[in-house]
Amino acid sequence: MENMKRIALLYLLILTSFMSYAQNNNPNYDAELAASLEADDYGMKNYVFVILKTGSNKNDNEDLRNNAFRGHMSNISRLVEDDKLVVAGPFGKNDLTYRGLFILKVTTIEEAEKLLETDPAIKGRYLDAELIEWYGSAALSQYLLDSDKVWKIKP
């Protein structure tokens, strides 16, 4: 009788281990894609999330401001081409003075700060930036592959 209990316990342990293993593995997992996106075992990776806010520069010179924001838009395109910018976009009007966001494909605040130094609107203090380390889906950058196919008029 004691042997039957041991066999039943062993069977239950094996069955539980198998069920646990099966529940934790993704049948759609693509190892090649995960590696190319630098995903960890959870399909995630580190980024830096940037909140752009109205800056401290209150200069009324419209030409300077317009040049800074033209440079800001050019810089966004360059960061995408350099595979450093995953998401960018403006916020709607709000009471927090938030203007927009970036998700940068870097792992440290220091790396992000170096990239932001190249932005004329930030450099000119027309925009201020708050930087936060963020852990998100490694597949986030995949949307960029199709984003260039859905706009009709260049923003």
What pLDDT score was predicted for residue 146? 79
State pLDDT tens for residues 136-154. 999 998 887 777 788 788 7
pLDDT for 4 equals: 59
> In the chain, where are the structural domains located?
40-147
**What is the 3-state composition of the chain as percent helix, strand, coil, each rounded to the nearest 5?**
45, 25, 30
Each residue's pLDDT, cut to its tens digit, for the chain (155 residues) gives 566 556 555 555 565 555 445 556 888 888 999 999 999 999 999 999 999 999 999 988 999 999 999 999 999 999 999 999 999 999 999 999 999 999 999 999 999 999 999 999 999 999 999 999 999 999 998 887 777 788 788 76
Cα 118 to Cα 22, 40, 68, 83: the distances in Å are 48, 30, 11, 15
pLDDT of residue 25: 83
The reported pLDDT for the residue numbered 5 is 58
What pLDDT sits at residue 151? Answer: 78
pLDDT computed for residue 147 by the predictor: 76
CATH number 3.30.70.1060 is the correct assignment for the domain at 40-147 = yes
Q: How far is CA 149 from CA 49, 63, 87, in A?
A: 25, 32, 16
